[in-house]
Amino acid sequence: MNRTMIQAVNTATDSAPRRALTTRARHRPSHLGWLFLIPALSVYGIFVLWPILQTIRYSFYSWDGVDKPQWAGLRNFRAVFTDPQLTSTLVHVAELILFFTVIPVGLGLVLAAIMQRVTSRRVTSVARAVLILPQIVPLVAAGIAWSWVLSSSGVVNQVLQAIGLRHITRAWLGDFTTALPSVGLIGAWVLLGLCTVLLSVGMGKIDASLYEAAVLDGAGRIREFFAVTLPSMRNEIAVCVTVTMISALSAFDIVYITTQGGPGNATMVPGLKVYQLAFFNRQVGLASALALVLMVIVILCIMPVQSLSRRSGDE
Amino acid sequence: MTERRQETLISSVLLAAVFVVTLLPFASLFTTALHTSGTYPTGLSWPKHPQWHNFVDAFHAADMGAIFLSSTSIVLGVVPVAIVLATLAGFALGHLRPRGGRAAFAVFLAGLTLPLEGVIVPLYYEIRDFHLLNTRFAIILPLIGLYMPFAVYWMRAHFLAMPNELSEAARIDGATTWQLFWRIHLPLARPAVTALGILLTIWTWNQFLLAIVLVDDPKKRTMAGALGAFQGQWGTNIPLLAAGALFILTPMLIVFLIFQRNFVVALLQGSVKG
């Protein structure tokens, strides 16, 4: 990539009249750029911006999707924050964040550190390929695979039986107490590899002299990790936290396939609830209010993380 | 010395454990798919008589050929168009910088973290009003729009990194803005475009929510969406379901194995930029 770029730069400058560049041919057409922008802006406007405005509008109405919408004021929003069926979805999502975010980022840091010590390049590249695999396959397929692994005759119970823990075997996704953590672990499985690889790339970029300095100061492995590694990777960690939090907040595919929100309401998440309310219960207004609250929560969660990462220019 | 060796050993064991956990669901799916159709096998067990024809049965039961073609045509409908639009816009924002471009960029940025659930309800009514429900366009058109924040952001970052001298020289040679874009900048944008293409292809192939909301017929959906329907239909026949799930995830897996390095790089850059 770089070579072709430099070549192109060279040929471009060679053919130019000698250093006439000083005149800085800055005839910036200030409106022409808009012609390039309009196509993208229009599809974005039609299929994203307009729907968002509609979501906001619907959220103030009571509407079954067929008859004339009835003005509902803030009633839908009050329901989102008071109806236990709906507030519980927000609680569940908070718990999912623990699994989707804390495990992949925490464990990812440990694994990345390990991968850095196992220095063979081949091991590293194989590790990357294997770990990133869950990002390639559809979440739906991952959901089917995992609901089988966690089922009453699945691998998990098979292993537990083999090591003499028969008494705790169960249908993990069908049990009120274990269903949500199980969904959370599936999410952790999906995201762990991505975080690990991202963090290991970040770790590889840390200046070795920082470690030498830490060792001279008498720091051990652990001190070294907290004094050098962690602070140097603020950016990568922020990226991982952002990506994983968004996947937790907008979880849909996995829950839809593995539990449909059940048992009872135990794994119901906002994304799935929006879908059910709008397309099965015909409560379009309420669904829109919940969707809007979800969007606001995403923004509220992401903003502090973003400001945490050092903002270097446009990255 | 022994301490180091011990450390290496522990590291290797831990790494191996993570590998096993990562691959376990696929392995379990595979061995299950080989059991007699309609039985309820145990999680990870090799059957006495592997039923390879389960794959053939699943292929026919779900009409995989049709689903594969549908998914492919959706990808072909979405990805090239999204790339063209995003490249044009990215060039404008990263290079031409028209008056008001910053505002336009801010508008794109606003959509970057948007969960699909936030727009799915009105999208349904909009697509209905366009009379596109239950056609592939119901998936193709919204996806192009939904990809714009990320794709434009991505291409803009690429054009921002291009040296200005390049354009200045071309300008002095009398290049028009279009020539500048088409002859100078576009050829240089190939790596960025390739990576973007990889990302958009995975995301489109695996798109689920749009497919199940906007298209009823599994044969007009994406692979992931069709699998949802297959699960509904064959959810109790575990071996057949496992075979079907394997079918759905195989095409992306093959492409991944061929272009492994590009995939990993694209995924990493993609998450950093997103």
**What tens-digit pLDDT sequence spans chain B (274 residues)?**
567 778 788 888 888 999 999 999 999 999 998 988 888 887 788 888 888 888 888 888 888 899 999 999 999 999 999 999 999 999 999 988 898 899 999 999 999 989 999 999 999 999 999 999 999 999 999 999 999 999 999 999 999 988 888 888 888 888 888 888 998 899 999 999 999 999 999 999 999 999 999 998 989 999 888 888 888 888 788 898 999 999 888 888 898 888 888 888 888 888 776 4
Q: For B96, which of A36, A39, A250 is closest by C-beta distance?
A: A36
Q: How far is B114 from chain A (nearest CA, A)?
A: 7
Question: Which pLDDT score is estimated for A113?
Answer: 87
Residues B9 and B145 in one domain: no
Complex ipTM value:
0.91
Residues B33 and B98 in one domain: no
Is residue A101 within a helix (H) or strand (E), and if so which, with residue range? Answer: none
Question: Which pLDDT score is estimated for A53?
Answer: 96
Residues B102 and B180 in one domain: yes
Omega within 30 of 0 (cis) for the link into A104: no
Question: Which pLDDT score is estimated for B1?
Answer: 52
The backbone torsions φ and ψ at residue A61, rounded to the nearest 5 degrees and listed phi first, read -120, 155
| Residue B163 contacts A where some CB pair is shorter than 8 Å | yes
Q: Residue A1: what residue type?
A: M
Q: Which residues of chain A have pLDDT under 50?
A: 1-27, 312-315
Question: Which pLDDT score is estimated for A150?
Answer: 94
Question: Which pLDDT score is estimated for A214?
Answer: 86
pLDDT in tens, A122-134: 888 888 889 999 9
Cβ within 8 Å of residue B122, ≥6 positions away: A50, A51, A52, A54, A55, A58, A288
Residues B26 and B140 in one domain: no
Asked if residue A195 lies in contact with residue A247, where contact means CB atoms within 8 angstroms, the answer is no
Asked if residue A49 lies in contact with residue A56, where contact means CB atoms within 8 angstroms, the answer is no
- Whether B260 is in a domain gets the answer yes
| pTM for this entry | 0.89
Question: Which pLDDT score is estimated for A116?
Answer: 81
The number of folded domains in chain B is 2
Question: Which pLDDT score is estimated for A7?
Answer: 40
Q: For B121, which of A117, A146, A274 is closest by C-beta distance?
A: A274
What single string gives the DSSP state of each residue in A47-82?
IIIHHHHHHHHHTTEE--SSS--EE-TTHHHHHHHH
Question: Which pLDDT score is estimated for A11?
Answer: 39
Residues B241 and B105 in one domain: yes
End-to-end CA distance of chain A: 20
Please name the residue of chain B whose CA is at the shortest distance from the CA of residue A254. B208
- CATH number, residue B166: 1.10.3720.10
Q: Which domain, by its residues, includes B164?
A: 64-270
* CATH architecture assigned to A90-267: Orthogonal Bundle (1.10)
Residues B29 and B74 in one domain: no
Q: Where are the beta strands (DSSP E) in chain A?
A: 61-62, 70-71
CA atoms within 13 A on the CB side of B254: 5
- Whether B259 is in a domain gets the answer yes
B15: chain A residues, CB-CB within 8 Å? 111, 114-115, 118, 123, 127
Return the number of other C-beta atoms located less than 10 Å from residue B57's C-beta: 17
The residue among A49, A297, A37, A238 whose CA lies nearest residue B274 is A238
Q: 60-79 in B: which are within 8 Å (CB) of A?
A: none
B260: chain A residues, CB-CB within 8 Å? 129
Residues B89 and B223 in one domain: yes
